[in-house]
Amino acid sequence: MQDIFAAPQQFGPGFLESAPVLAYHSDQFVLPLPPGHSFPMSKYRLLREAAEATLPDVRVAQAVAASDGELALAHEPAWIDAVAGGTLSAAQQREIGFPWSERMVERSRRSVGATVCAARAALFGGEGVAANLAGGTHHAYAHKGSGYCVFNDVAVAARLMQAEWHRDRHGRSGPARLLRAIVIDLDVHQGNGTAAIFRDDPSVFTLSLHGAHNFPFRKEPSDIDVDLPDGCGDADYLGALDIALNAAWARHGDELPGLAFYLAGADPHEDDRLGRLKLSAAGLAERDRRVLAALRERGIAVALSMAGGYGRDIHTTVAVQRRTLQEALASWRAWPQRQALTAVKESGS
């Protein structure tokens, strides 16, 4: 478990009292893209720089790379080998949308690693809330990549956290209880890869709100899917979100998840090139607040991934994602266990 922990000094004495929301990045691993390629690769670096400049309480750390064994928790070995070994066919590369390179492999491993680090900090580090400044690669299936997604960060992290949870809890007070997880996927595109990976796994609940007429055009059934019409605005979106979240909690009954993955896509924004919805920046901030509050009220630790964002002006996307981090920071500050820690510290004990 220690091998992919972030820098050990982060977890030294005093860590819990002083550490802010942890955000993990992998933006120095930039893909070489052909001229004219439309993927906004620089958004990851811009988001980290914006976070460092304007949210000093959000400490940013570099993610470690996910190993083949960790990837194999959610991916078929043949897919991992084809990516790692550079034997992807032209069709497979086209479906991903990126040409293969060594850097693509490294970046994909780091992006998964960043979600793993965030989930671990949120769940085992006692933070309650932590983030990956990239990730949310929800179009990746067990056996193939798609739509700019090579490996499915959330699927790997969910399975790895379940394994670590079992190992950590086993024998403490009888048999370990299964760690349930929920994926709240609010990227504007449906989380088809994630839904397919967990279709027959009741321990991971999948919820997706997405544009009905957007990619992927062949959607996979999640536990809850909400298809939104083109042009959907703040009020309709937030109303649908409330209904979907309440339905998710109702479906869980007394057995709430212990861990959530929140894909806080910026692509439902009205100025997104690909989104087709009409959410304002204020509407997206309210979306983030509602999700984070719902999780905090239930004591469900959450790892955020930034997921998609293709603003006509890249700075619009970065501003939306920076705001998501700001909301995450507010939720981290209000995290109940953290308040208890602060109270202990302030009382001098």
Instruction: Give the binding site for Zn ion (CB under 5 A).
Output: 187, 189, 265, 267, 308
Of the two residues 149 and 158, which places its CB atom closer to Zn ion in the complex?
Answer: 149
Q: Residues 271, 246, 206, 20: what is their CA dihedral angle, to the nearest 10 degrees?
A: 70
CB of 5 to Zn ion, least distance (A): 30
CA distance 201 to 220: 14
The residue with its CB nearest to Zn ion is: 308
Of the two residues 40 and 126, which places its CB atom closer to Zn ion in the complex?
Answer: 40
Of the two residues 189 and 278, which places its CB atom closer to Zn ion in the complex?
Answer: 189
CB of 254 to Zn ion, least distance (A): 34
CA distance 349 to 346: 8
- The per-type count for the chain, helices as H runs and strands as E runs, is 12, 8
CB of 115 to Zn ion, least distance (A): 16
Of the two residues 107 and 189, which places its CB atom closer to Zn ion in the complex?
Answer: 189
Instruction: Decide: 112 and 157 in contact? Cβ < 8 Å.
Output: yes
CB of 99 to Zn ion, least distance (A): 20
Residues in the chain: 349
Give how far the C-alpha of residue 136 lies from the chain's centroid of Cα atoms, to the nearest Å. 5
CB of 168 to Zn ion, least distance (A): 33
Cα separation values, 48 from 55, 105, 140, 300, 329, Å:
10, 21, 24, 26, 14
CA distance 66 to 74: 12
Of the two residues 185 and 327, which places its CB atom closer to Zn ion in the complex?
Answer: 185
Instruction: Decide: 182 and 223 in contact? Cβ < 8 Å.
Output: no
CB of 265 to Zn ion, least distance (A): 5
Which residues have CB under 8 Å from 192's CB, separation 6+? 138, 139, 141, 146, 216, 218, 219, 220
* Three-state DSSP class for residue 304: strand
Half-sphere CA count of 85, side-chain side, radius 13 A: 9
CB of 247 to Zn ion, least distance (A): 22
CB of 151 to Zn ion, least distance (A): 16
Query: Rounded to the nearest 5°, which phi and psi values hold at 10?
Result: -65, -20
Of the two residues 257 and 275, which places its CB atom closer to Zn ion in the complex?
Answer: 275
Of the two residues 165 and 237, which places its CB atom closer to Zn ion in the complex?
Answer: 237
Of the two residues 20 and 216, which places its CB atom closer to Zn ion in the complex?
Answer: 216
